[in-house]
Amino acid sequence: MLNLKSYRHFALYAGSSHRELASEIAKHLGVELGQVELSRFRSGELYAQFPESVRGVDVYLLQSFAPPINDHFVELLLMIDALKRSSVGRINVIIPYFGYGRQEKQGRAREPISAKVVADVLKTVGAHRVITLDLHASAIQGFFDIPVDHLTALPILVREVRSLNLSDAVVVSPDAGRAKTAEKFAAMLDLPMAIMHKGRPAHNEALITHLIGDVKGKTPVVIEDIIDTGGTILQVSQTLEKMGARSGAVLCATHGVFSSPAHERLAHESIARVLVTDSVPIREEMKRLPITVLPIAPLLATAIDRVHQNLALSGMWL
């Protein structure tokens, strides 16, 4: 267990999106999770207030962009503003799942780059640093004019895949955008890899068109950053089976958002197991599926510890 009690002016707070994760991080750090009063007016407006003085304190504030994402985003902004107006030291925002990250470029004319909007607002309202996990696109770090510590859950997923003792497996990237991640994943597992190509005719829709690599007779280990409705990942697993891969793909992703109808799609016979982290809370009905939820509290606690001691995060391995 880490222990920051002796460090200068340190406090850990959390919004309402993932209190369980925040409590686990506090345990690993050996500190108490700070209190924040969060409520809602009858009109629907949100309210945040910190009961204790935070003057001169370096604060680590956790808020994942779990559903309802817009409420949790506004709640985070109000908490940051409350801290800034209370003469706080540094405001370090921990966002395990960075919402709006899938809108990191203009795919069509006259649409927003929403990830850039979120980055601008966080800086403007008063955040000094962002700690996040497996962004949809690494280039999102460039949208910020404040430090961003971009962590990865790949080592956590690798350990779990190794424990499955799969024979003759192949790592599969569901699209070209995940190719670099899949390459790292395959190298860590010492497995071959394959790449699929997909198009997106509409939001939350995907169309698989090509496959590069050999999957015949092999167990697919599909690596993604997010599983949302499960439509893409189901189509990938079914297509791989049609192309000669073994039935029963293992799906790996950092963020299990699991919007409807993910429950029905992930129950398909072509999917053997789903591995995700607890970057967002997992609904109870999803836990009845063959889903393994891997804890990220040790990873985030170590990152906080190293940031607070002004130590480098490069090469951090849990």
Whether 233 and 225 have beta carbons less than 8 Å apart is answered as: no
Burial code (b: 16+ CB inside 10 Å, e: under 16) for 265-294 equals: bbeeebbbbbbbbbbbbbeeebeebebbbb
Counting Cβ atoms within 10 Å, is residue 51 exposed (0-12), middle (13-18) or buried (19+)? exposed
Name the residue among 92, 182, 149 with its Cα closest to residue 314.
149
Tokens standing for 117? 């909007």
Whether 174 and 155 have beta carbons less than 8 Å apart is answered as: no
Whether 268 and 239 have beta carbons less than 8 Å apart is answered as: no
Whether 199 and 228 have beta carbons less than 8 Å apart is answered as: no
**What distance in Å separates the CA atoms of residue 281 and residue 157, rounded to the nearest whole number?**
17
**Residue 10 contacts by C-beta under 8 Å, 6 or more apart in sequence?**
4, 31, 57, 58, 60, 308
Helix pair 19-29, 297-308: axis angle to 10 deg? 60
The residues carrying an active-site annotation are 198
With tokens 């009961």, the residue in question is 51
**Residue 61 contacts by C-beta under 8 Å, 6 or more apart in sequence?**
13, 14, 15, 76, 79, 80, 83, 91, 92, 93, 94
* Helix-then-strand count for the chain, H and E: 9, 14
Amino acid at 270: S
At residue 87, the 3 state secondary structure works out as coil
